[in-house]
Amino acid sequence: MKTIGKDERRVVNLKSAQFEAWDESGVSERGTSILQLNPHAERGTGFYIYKMEPGASSAPHRHGGAEEFFIIEGEIVDNDGTVYRAGDVVWLAPGTEHNSHSPTGAVIAVYAEKEETTLEA
């Protein structure tokens, strides 16, 4: 068996990981950030960790493919009032449109099949 090379593996701990702002311009989102380990995946696709600071909101968006997520800690509230809490596992169909906010802050493990499209608020 071949040894895994240093460019073939990335390991980080969520407690000390360096997240990047989801929207670096701060126009569509503030207080949200992403940790995506796979350097070959398009940003916001495949598996990533999404973090929301207390009071943060995601931009209204449409999913290009299905999205699945697991609330690791905290809670988020969807625009229709649905509350997702730590321990919840959620699937959203392709084409779903929504946005979420987090009154308390949240850390979420996400798998997105395809890119999302930002919608007008």
Task: Please write the tens of the pLDDT for every residue from 71-119.
Answer: 999 999 999 999 999 999 999 999 999 999 999 999 999 999 998 888 8
Average pLDDT over residues 54-65: 94
pLDDT of residue 24: 77
Half-sphere exposure of 26 (CA within 13 A, CB side): 1
pLDDT of residue 58: 92
Q: Domain extents for the chain?
A: 29-115
Which architecture does CATH list for 29-115? Sandwich (2.60)
pLDDT of residue 121: 58
pLDDT of residue 9: 93
Instruction: State how far the Cα of 34 lies from the Cα of 37, in Å rounded to an integer.
Output: 10
Q: Is-contact 53 31, C-beta < 8 A? A: yes
Instruction: State how far the Cα of 119 lies from the Cα of 41, in Å rounded to an integer.
Output: 23
Instruction: State how far the Cα of 67 lies from the Cα of 47, in Å rounded to an integer.
Output: 10
For the chain, give the mean pLDDT: 93
pTM metric for this prediction: 0.91
Reduced to 3 states, what is the DSSP secondary structure of residue 29?
coil
